[in-house]
Amino acid sequence: MATIAGSVMTSHVPAIGNAIAKHRESDPYWKPFFDGYPPVRAWLDRVKPDVAVVFYQDHGLNFFLDKMPTFAVGAAPEYRNADEGWGIPTVKPVRGDPGLSWHIIESLVADEFDVTTCQEMKVDHALTLPLALMWPGGGDWPVRVVPITMNHVQHPLPSPKRSYKLGESVGRAIRSWDEDARVLVMGTGGLSHQLDGERAGFINKPFDLMCLDALVSDPQKLTRYSALDLVREAGAQGTELMAWIAARAALTGRVTKVHSHYHVPISNTAGAVLALQNDEAAIARAA
């Protein structure tokens, strides 16, 4: 059966893509941000996941304001990358895993999550930049991916509670997949940021740090917030935190923190990364 090795949650600010393309990782502006990633990469090198299930929001590349699925799951053999307007160099198509995609879709629908299924899907910076941060070197990534998009764009948004339940359901689906594969669950976006309007540039460090702690040891705490609470506390785009909540909820074993890093600001955003190890065997041993 498949096992869930753990989770990596990270910001996906588009400017990261240009910093990588222009080799600016050691510039004074960027170094404090990129310094957060080597310990996560070292852990991934040990864990060697085969597949990454990635929760994120599509930023208008597949779905726009006229048609907006609350949750959509990719089920394609590969996903082409395109730039929805940030000027980031595109990468070659990302490999999919249709077997796991359809298993997750069937499990979700059986669990009463009536998701949109996408046999063709483009992927934007919110999927490719996190992979580029984990495995630098230009796009030959060692994982197949299952993209799961969540609507953080147009109200009504799903709630943190619903996002948590989605993550739990995806976690159960992965654990019941009859393949000997190691799965990494990723959540991308956040932390606090607001890109426009009166509060453009809004960042709430105490709230972000509380979330980073809660995601390790008490993730249910975050389900007490409504989507509008998140807008208030974390900014209009801080609602991307729900992708982190979903990723965390997929972990059902003993969860320990591998590494976390927080740096303000990167572009308009509180840049953060959190890596969590999931030990299912520890739970089985304790039972």
Annotated catalytic sites, by residue? Answer: 125, 193
**Which position among 237, 260, 277, 278 is part of the footprint of ligand DHB (CB under 6 A)?**
237
**Pairing relationship of beta strands 3-10 and 269-279 according to DSSP bridges:** antiparallel
Rounded CA separation 65/73 (Å)? 18
Count of residues interacting with ligand DHB (CB under 6 A)? 13
Is 14 a binding residue for ligand DHB by CB under 6 A? The answer is: yes
**Which position among 6, 147, 189, 235 is part of the footprint of ligand DHB (CB under 6 A)?**
189
**Quick one: which segment of 73-81, 134-142, 189-197, 255-263 binds Fe ion (CB under 5 A)?**
189-197
- Chain position whose Cβ is nearest to ligand DHB: 267
Contact mark string toward ligand DHB, 94..133, x via CB under 6 A: ----------------------------------------
At residue 211, φ and ψ (nearest 5 deg) are -65, -40
**Quick one: which segment of 7-15, 92-100, 145-153, 248-256 binds ligand DHB (CB under 6 A)?**
7-15
Rounded CA separation 210/214 (Å)? 6
**Pairing relationship of beta strands 122-123 and 71-74 according to DSSP bridges:** unpaired
CB of 183 to ligand DHB, least distance (A): 24
Give the chain's end-to-end CA distance (angstroms, integer): 19
- Cα torsion 114, 115, 116, 119: sign: negative
